[in-house]
Chains A and B, each alone.
Chain A
Amino acid sequence: MERKTKISAEEGKQDLLITREFELPVNLLFKAHVDADILEQWMSHEYGTAKVLKLESRKHGGWEYQTTDAQGNVVFSANGVFHEYVPNRKITRTFEMQNSPFDVQLEFLEFEHLTDDTSRLTMHTIYRTQELRDQMLKLPFEYGINMAHNRLQDVVSKLSNITYHDKAK
C-alpha cells in the first residue's frame, strides 16, 4: 500500500516537515485535532490507550494527554500550550514529552482546504538542536528493533522452558 504521509528532514537542519492529504473536508480534519473524544480514538493504538487530560482549544490554552498500556501503566505523556488558534486554518503549539530527556519542541500545524472533500495538513516541527531532531526521528526505528528483540526473547524463553520440561520428564 502506498504511504500517503511525506516526511522531509533535511540533513544538518533542526526542523521536520510532515505533510499529508486527506479525503476529508478541512473542517473535519481540524475537528479531529481539537475534539478530545476523537483525538483519543486516533491517537490510541494496539500498545496503548490515549487519554486527553486537558484540551483548552484556544489561544493561550493548555493541553495534556497520556497513553496507558493494558495494565494501566502510563507509558507516554505529553503537554504544551496553544500559541495560535485559528479554527480550520492554523494551530501553533508547544509540545513537551514528560519524563524524557527531550527539550520542548515548537509545532506549526496548517490546515488547507483543497476541494470540498479533500484537505492537506502540514506539520512543521522545530527542535532545539539538530541532534535532538535526529534522535526523535530514530525513536520509532529503535522502538521497532526493541519490540522485535523482545518478541524474539519471548520465543526463545518459551523454547528453553519446553526444553527444560522435556529434560525434567
Chain B
Amino acid sequence: MDLRRDVFQAIADPTRRAIITLVALQAMTPSAIAENFNSSRQTISKHIQILTECELLEQEQNGREIYYHFNPKKMKEIADFIEPFRNMWDDRFNKLEAIMKKYKSR
C-alpha cells in the first residue's frame, strides 16, 4: 500500500489547518508555533512534520533556528483539484444542452 502523505489528508485535521493559518501570516520557529496550542510540543512537531512532508510548509535554517514558511503554490493545487471534475460535468452538460436545443427546433 502507498503510505505517502496526501495533502488532502493533511488539511483534514483542524490543528494542522490552524498551523497553516499561523505560518501563512509570518514564518515561525517550531516553538513559536507550539506556544499557540495547548497540545504538547511533540504533538505539534508531528503535525509540522506532516505538513512539511506534503510540502504545505517549507523549512529554512536561519542561524541556529529553523523557520517554517507557508507554500502557497501547494495550497493552490488543492483549490484547483476539484476543477477537472467540474469541467468534466460542465463539458457533458454543454453537450446535453446543444443536443437538446437541436432536438427542440426539429
A residues within 8 Å of B by Cβ? Answer: 3-7, 9, 11-12, 18, 20, 22-25, 28-29, 31-32, 38, 41-43, 45, 121, 134, 137-141, 143-144
How many B residues touch A, CB cutoff 8 Å?
A: 24
B37 CB contacts on chain A under 8 angstroms: none
B90 touches A3 (CB 8 A): yes
Minimum C-beta distance from B14 to chain A (A): 10
Once the chains are docked, how many angstroms separate the CA of A4 from the CA of B97?
Answer: 12
- Is the contact region of chain B dominated by helix, strand, or loop, or is it mixed? helix
B81 CB contacts on chain A under 8 angstroms: 137-138, 141
B104: nearest chain-A partner, CB-CB: A28
A38 CB contacts on chain B under 8 angstroms: 99-100, 103
Once the chains are docked, how many angstroms separate the CA of A12 from the CA of B86?
Answer: 19
B91 touches A45 (CB 8 A): yes
Pick from A7, A31, A32, A138: contact of B89, CB below 8 A.
A7
> Can you give 29 A-B contacts (C-beta < 8 A)?
A3-B86, A4-B94, A5-B86, A5-B89, A5-B93, A7-B85, A7-B86, A7-B89, A11-B12, A20-B90, A20-B93, A22-B96, A23-B101, A24-B97, A31-B103, A32-B96, A32-B99, A41-B99, A42-B92, A42-B95, A43-B92, A45-B91, A134-B8, A137-B81, A138-B81, A140-B85, A141-B81, A141-B82, A143-B84
